[in-house]
Amino acid sequence: MEMLSLAEKILTLPPAAPFQWAAIFHKDDINFKHGHHNLEWYDPTSKSTEHQLPCKVRCSFCHSPIMDEGRNMILLFPSLIKFKSDEDKKNFAPR
């Protein structure tokens, strides 16, 4: 089965489905502390691993999906984020 993008999953959820917790960031607000060498890109439409937007960003080792990269924004699950404190995490709680 082809993996849907997170955005597609959210858009295709039926109204009664449980809320899907995803966070959207401006790319300008993100820095890679250790470079992007452990990441790979994937476009499920063209099956390409070249970096063309929008695309999926995966772990280059185990290919786990990490986030979706758009032109200006990225979308990821907050469950993948290591927060400094519970207080910080609360800022991302669904409202």
Binding site for Zn ion (CB under 5 A): 59, 61-62, 64
CB of 51 to Zn ion, least distance (A): 18
Q: Which residue is nearest to Zn ion (CB)?
A: 59
Residue 55, number of CB atoms within 10 A of its CB: 22
CB of 65 to Zn ion, least distance (A): 10
- DSSP string for residues in 50-75: S--SSEEEEETTT--EEEEE-SSEEE
Rounded least distance, CB 85 to Zn ion, Å: 25
Structural contact between residues 3 and 58, judged by C-beta atoms closer than 8 angstroms: no
Question: Toward Zn ion, which CB reaches closer, 63 or 72?
Answer: 63
Q: Would you say 64 or 85 has its CB closer to Zn ion?
A: 64
Burial class (CB in 10 A: 0-12, 13-18, 19+), 60: middle
Give 27 or 63: the residue with its C-beta nearer to Zn ion.
63
